[in-house]
């Protein structure tokens, strides 16, 4: 399937049918919905729920952009993309943006002609093993079989980490998260490695989550964030500031519950600018003035999104950690809204 998809995307690239430089924002507005490249299914990040509605913190970025452009967060069409076809799909114009736990790297940003607009989850690659193996550190993994999702930064980090520690391993490359889970649970491999967030998400879905541990070693930096095509900075700004709006809203204590109250009563100038009480800021982005208010009303601020989908009260159970605001000991930091 993927080969056909890649081929098809290459073909579009070849024939130049894609919406070349028309300006993605205009194209999206005219079409009436946003086409968002999402994960093929990663609980808490991008996954359809029981009712078939997509949800997760990556999905919330798509919804935020739709809320900003249309004032309606539901105007999104999700295209599930494997890690292998995601960039070609974006490059060829099959999707308007990508929001599916994708690591921001130099090569992707520059050589693949993409533009990463920010980070919505600071992650790092980890290892998960069965508890009964009695392993407590990744340095004890010599000779193990490792399940690994292909087409990611993961296989390179893995090769680097094992060779740096003088350890050997057998890699079992699989195509999707679900296949990796199946191979790992069947005992085909001893270790499942991917971004730690992905490990937590997978573990939450296992028959007995407590039988598996994520080892303490985090072997890489994986800043995950949404990306767009590199030749359209106007559109990049819309996506970038949609994400920033969610982070600034958390800083300012604006939530989906109190946003209307804030519009009416907040004396804080930055809050007033963000929520469109002071007019003119939306026009810079080609949007209406209430674009950010719509995001917060319909999607919520960053904290709401995080706690709803992956926070400590969900089965995925991830603490804010690095992803807390800079004020709270994390590294989440949005530029000022002025």
- Residue 33: count other Cβ atoms within 10 Å of its Cβ: 16
| Whole-number Å distance between alpha carbons of 30 and 35 | 12
**Tokens representing residue 169 in the block:** 């391993």
Indicate the helix (H) or strand (E) that contains 69.
helix 57-70
Determine the distance from the C-alpha atom of residue 250 to the mean position of all C-alpha atoms in its chain, rounded to a whole number.
18
Residue 316 interacts with another protein (CB under 8 A)? no
Q: CB 265 → another protein: shortest distance, Å?
A: 46
Q: CB 144 → another protein: shortest distance, Å?
A: 4
Classify residue 45 by its DSSP letter: T
- Residue 263: count other Cβ atoms within 10 Å of its Cβ: 19
| Whole-number Å distance between alpha carbons of 181 and 199 | 10
Residue 10 interacts with another protein (CB under 8 A)? yes
- Residue 56: count other Cβ atoms within 10 Å of its Cβ: 29
Could you tell me which stretch among 17-25, 52-60, 71-79, 316-324 binds another protein (CB under 8 A)? 17-25
The correct pick among 28, 62, 183, 295 for binding another protein (CB under 8 A) is 183
Could you tell me which stretch among 66-74, 103-111, 213-221, 238-246 binds another protein (CB under 8 A)? 103-111
Residue 14 interacts with another protein (CB under 8 A)? yes
Q: Are 35 and 77 in contact (CB under 8 A)?
A: yes
**Range 145-174, binding another protein (CB under 8 A):** 145, 150-152, 155-156, 158-160, 163, 169-174
Residue 98 interacts with another protein (CB under 8 A)? no
Q: For another protein, what does the binding mask look like between residues 108 and 147, x meaning CB under 8 A?
A: x--xxx-------------------x-------xxxxx--
Residue 264 interacts with another protein (CB under 8 A)? no
The correct pick among 47, 91, 103, 244 for binding another protein (CB under 8 A) is 91
Q: Are 228 and 239 in contact (CB under 8 A)?
A: yes
Residue 4 interacts with another protein (CB under 8 A)? no
CA neighbor of 238 nearest in space, from 1, 64, 6, 48: 64
Counting residues that bind another protein (by CB under 8 A) gives 55
Could you tell me which stretch among 11-19, 39-47, 263-271, 299-307 binds another protein (CB under 8 A)? 11-19
**Tokens representing residue 165 in the block:** 């520690």
Q: CB 120 → another protein: shortest distance, Å?
A: 21
For residue 216, which phi and psi values (nearest 5 degrees)? -65, -25
Determine the distance from the C-alpha atom of residue 156 to the mean position of all C-alpha atoms in its chain, rounded to a whole number.
20
Could you tell me which stretch among 31-39, 72-80, 182-190, 322-330 binds another protein (CB under 8 A)? 182-190
Q: CB 24 → another protein: shortest distance, Å?
A: 12
**Tokens representing residue 41 in the block:** 């299914």
Q: CB 7 → another protein: shortest distance, Å?
A: 6
CA neighbor of 225 nearest in space, from 334, 75, 92, 328: 334
**Range 213-232, binding another protein (CB under 8 A):** 229-231
Residue 2 interacts with another protein (CB under 8 A)? yes
Residue 233 interacts with another protein (CB under 8 A)? no
Q: Which residues contact 139 (CB under 8 A, 6 or more apart)?
A: 165, 167, 217
CA neighbor of 229 nearest in space, from 2, 22, 54, 56: 22
Interface contacts to another protein, rule CB under 8 A:
2-3, 6-7, 9-10, 13-16, 18, 20-21, 83-84, 87-88, 91, 107-108, 111-113, 133, 141-145, 150-152, 155-156, 158-160, 163, 169-175, 179, 182-183, 186-188, 190, 229-231
């Amino acid at each position: 399937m993927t080969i056909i998809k890649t081929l098809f995307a290459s073909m579009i690239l070849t024939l130049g049918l894609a919406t070349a430089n028309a300006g993605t924002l205009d194209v999206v507005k005219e079409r009436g919905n946003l086409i968002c490249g999402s994960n093929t299914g990663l609980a808490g990040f991008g996954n359809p729920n029981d009712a078939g509605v997509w949800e997760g913190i990556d999905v919330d970025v798509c919804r935020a952009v739709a809320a900003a452009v249309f004032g309606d967060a539901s105007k999104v069409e999700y295209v599930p993309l494997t890690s292998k076809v995601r960039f070609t799909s974006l490059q060829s114009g099959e999707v308007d943006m990508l929001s599916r736990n994708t690591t921001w790297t130099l090569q992707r940003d520059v050589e693949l002609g993409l533009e990463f607009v920010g980070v919505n989850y600071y992650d790092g690659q980890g290892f998960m093993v069965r508890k009964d193996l009695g392993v407590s550190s990744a340095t004890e993994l010599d000779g193990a079989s490792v399940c690994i999702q292909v087409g990611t930064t993961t296989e390179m980090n893995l090769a680097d980490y094992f060779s740096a520690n003088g350890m050997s391993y057998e890699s079992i490359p699989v195509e999707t998260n679900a296949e990796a889970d199946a191979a790992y649970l069947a005992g085909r491999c001893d270790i499942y490695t991917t971004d730690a967030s992905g490990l937590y998400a997978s573990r939450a879905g296992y028959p007995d989550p407590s039988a598996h541990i994520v080892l303490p070693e985090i072997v890489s930096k994986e800043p995950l964030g949404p990306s767009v095509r590199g030749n359209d900075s106007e559109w990049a700004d819309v996506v970038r500031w949609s994400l920033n709006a969610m982070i600034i809203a958390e800083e300012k204590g604006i939530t989906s519950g109190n946003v209307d109250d804030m519009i009416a009563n907040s004396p804080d100038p930055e809050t007033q600018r963000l929520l469109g009480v002071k007019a003119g800021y939306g026009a810079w982005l080609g949007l209406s003035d209430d674009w950010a208010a719509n995001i917060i009303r319909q999607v919520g601020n960053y904290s709401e999104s995080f706690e709803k989908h992956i926070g400590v009260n969900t089965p995925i159970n991830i603490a804010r950690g690095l992803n807390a605001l800079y004020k709270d000991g994390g590294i989440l930091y949005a530029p000022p809204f002025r």
